[in-house]
Amino acid sequence: MTDGKIRPADLRAMKARGEKIPSLTAYDYAMTRLLDECGVPLLLVGDSVGMVVLGYPDTTHVTMAEMEHHVRAAARAKPRALLAADLPYHAYETAADALANARRLSAAGAEAVKAEGGREILGQVSAIVSAGIPFIGHLGMLPQHVLEEGGYHIKGRKEDERNALLADAKALSDAGACAIVLELVTPPVAKEISASIPIPTIGIGSGVDCDGQILVTHDLLGLFPWFTPKFVKQQLNSAEQMRVMVTTWKAGLQGQTTPR
């Protein structure tokens, strides 16, 4: 295609050319448009929206209605980037649920959907892919399972974890996934997975050898100053800049008086 629109095949071609795939989260019209103008090829309406925008303690509280609302807002920016969206917790328990909810996100404007898990969700992945909806996998630390797992733990340190990750990545790729997010996977295992499958891996806290990197935009830009994951190299301190600007503006107003 020559319209400049990024499609799943373009991400795969980037991997084949050895070109890194930058990816960021976007939850609304303005951020989607701005990041798209920066040429980021893959934008994700992640369920991290629940934490950095909606104020939930983790992503398990995010609903389909909330995801649809944010996907609609992001899609109004009509990005050139591929616009993906997360299926939230409990939205893909069965293949039928997964397909119905993937269709809802597509109707809201998502061009791909992402869900967490490997071989245990293959039925759901097949239902989504067979319906022609591009699917992105998510392996390693699975934020929707943070409560069962008792925290955000690095994956791939033990041999059985490494083997399971490799098998899950192959199974997702064979099932037709167009990319896989690897979250908090040990860098050597992330590298091994990336070399073993034809589809791109998009790492987050998983080392430099993934085919792409994704970050929560709020972490990159310092928009959520109360918590920043250890692996993030913040590029801007937006919260601090905002505090200075607003305090200066407020002081300027307070220095003025309204004639009575």
- State the catalytic residues: 183
Q: Angle 187-196/159-174 helices, nearest 10 degrees?
A: 30
Indicate the residue among 86 and 191 with the shorter CB distance to ligand KIV: 86
Sign of CA dihedral 226, 34, 50, 146: negative
* Minimum separation from the CB atom of position 161 to ligand KIV (A): 19
Query: 134: closest CA among 150, 110, 158, 154?
Result: 110
Q: Angle 64-75/95-108 helices, nearest 10 degrees?
A: 30
Query: Applying CB under 6 A, does 204 fall inside the site for ligand KIV?
Result: yes
Query: Applying CB under 6 A, does 74 fall inside the site for ligand KIV?
Result: no
Query: Applying CB under 6 A, does 25 fall inside the site for ligand KIV?
Result: yes
CA triple 102-32-60, angle to 5 deg: 45
Query: Applying CB under 6 A, does 32 fall inside the site for ligand KIV?
Result: no
* Minimum separation from the CB atom of position 183 to ligand KIV (A): 6
Residues 41-60 that bind ligand KIV (CB under 6 A): 44, 46-48
Query: Applying CB under 6 A, does 105 fall inside the site for ligand KIV?
Result: no
Residues in contact with ligand KIV, total (CB under 6 A)?
Answer: 11
Indicate the residue among 136 and 197 with the shorter CB distance to ligand KIV: 136
* Minimum separation from the CB atom of position 2 to ligand KIV (A): 30
Assess contact for 119 and 171: CB atoms under 8 A: yes
Which DSSP string corresponds to 50-94?
A: HHHTS--SSGGG--HHHHHHHHHHHHTT--SSEEEEEPPTTS-SS
Indicate the residue among 65 and 251 with the shorter CB distance to ligand KIV: 65
Of 216, 218, 221, 223, the one binding ligand KIV (CB under 6 A) is 216
Q: Report the alpha-carbon distance of residue 253 to residue 256 in Å, rounded.
A: 5
Residues 139-198 that bind ligand KIV (CB under 6 A): 181, 183
Terminal alpha carbon distance of the chain: 65
Burial 168-204 (b: 16+ CB within 10 A, else e): bbebbbebebbbbbbbbbbbebbbbbbeebebbbbbb
* Minimum separation from the CB atom of position 173 to ligand KIV (A): 18
Of 86, 111, 168, 211, the one binding ligand KIV (CB under 6 A) is 86
CA triple 205-182-199, angle to 5 deg: 135
* Minimum separation from the CB atom of position 250 to ligand KIV (A): 33
Indicate the residue among 171 and 181 with the shorter CB distance to ligand KIV: 181
Residue recorded with tokens 């909330």: 66
Binding site for ligand KIV (CB under 6 A): 25, 44, 46-48, 86, 181, 183, 204, 214, 216
